[in-house]
Amino acid sequence: MNDMLLMALYAFLGAVAAGAAGAGALWLLRRRSLTASLTVVASVAVAAMFAGTLLVAWAMFLSPHDLKVVTTVVAMATVVSLATALLLGRWVVARSRELQLAARSFGDGGSFAAPDGPATAELSALSRELAATSARLAESRDRERALETSRRELVAWISHDLRTPLAGLRAMSEALEDGVAADPERYLKQIRTEVERLNDMVGDLFELSRIHAGTLALSPSRMSLYDLVGDALAGADPLARELGVRLVGESIEPVPVEVDGKEMSRVLGNLLVNAIRRTPADGTVAVAAERRPEGVVLSVTDGCGGIPEEDLPRVFDTGWRGTHARTPPAGAGLGLAIVRGIVEAHQGRASVHNIPGGCRFEVTLPTAP
């Protein structure tokens, strides 16, 4: 029993010495190829067996012939182990390089395609993650291109919309200054109208910048949707009367909601103004609110004649104003973008779809507890 313990101790000491040397080698080669690390691991296994065998043979006083046989067997095992480690390492490294080249392609603006052929479970999982990342990156690129297009269009349209009233203001102010205005009161009234229009446009730009920057601060409170819609209808009634459009708000359920009253009033006001301006005279704009399984749905239906199907996905984009026939003189293409931003800030959803003779804008809000 004592001899067995002594041989076990010698074998353990030899294995520890080989393991310590291997750990040092792995630390020195930690930045090198995986092939080198696998070779070191295989060498440590063989060296541990070889060192333990030699120590046990020395303790047992084996004959030179027996010691030579044992050494030869261990040497053959070393050759086979190292060859296997090298083959495995080269195969894993080759697969890693193929994966690296494939990953570089979607990093340069392309899409990721996993290399063909078998791979380890870890490399296969990495390929799946890279494919998912590539898809998300492609979506981000598309979204960034769309946003950049919207920004360019917005800058162009805002520049035009600002230039026109500013030129009018300058002309009217010069006429008043030179005393050549035939009707100064009419000029002053028009100047005030243009200033209010510019003020509204600047306010919309400021609101949109807060939405895009994520700094829109909400102060939600519990209120009835009936009261919210009633106030919005009262505010839009003068414009509807001026343009000869009838406002209908009979299908309003007194559903409680948790919203920022000021911001949601802006949402309803933008939707109503948009609908009234696009509905011909003697037309009808209807407002409805009801509870559905997905939440509280507020809808504004107009008689605009419908929106082309290819334009429906862009209706809520910043700066979108559709065709010239649908563009009101005072529109800057910001109202519906503000609607979507405010609704999404309330964890809701804004959508639009065509109906016979017009279109319906819907705002879905979470139901108040």
Examine the pLDDT at 14 and tell me if it is beyond 60: yes
pLDDT given for residue 330 in this prediction:
45
Between these two residues, 173 and 42, which has the higher pLDDT value?
173
- Using one digit for the tens of pLDDT, what is the confidence trace for 250-276? 778 778 888 888 888 989 999 999 899
Chain mean pLDDT for the chain: 78
Confidence of residue 327 (pLDDT cuts 50, 70, 90): very low
Confidence of residue 301 (pLDDT cuts 50, 70, 90): very high
CB 281 within 8 A of CB 303: no
Q: 10 Å Cβ neighbour count for 368?
A: 16
CA nearest neighbour of 80 among 39, 48, 51, 52? 39
Query: Which tokens hold the place of 72?
Result: 């030869």
Distance CA 338, CA 248 (A): 24
Confidence of residue 362 (pLDDT cuts 50, 70, 90): very high
- Using one digit for the tens of pLDDT, what is the confidence trace for 96-148? 777 777 777 665 666 666 677 666 677 777 777 777 777 787 788 787 887 77
What is the arithmetic mean of pLDDT over 178-202?
83
- Using one digit for the tens of pLDDT, what is the confidence trace for 333-347? 678 888 888 999 888
pLDDT given for residue 109 in this prediction:
61
Instruction: Return the amino acid letter for 78.
Output: T
Examine the pLDDT at 361 and tell me if it is beyond 90: yes
Q: 10 Å Cβ neighbour count for 255?
A: 19
Share of the chain above pLDDT 70, in %: 77
- Using one digit for the tens of pLDDT, what is the confidence trace for 221-248? 888 888 888 888 888 999 899 999 999 8
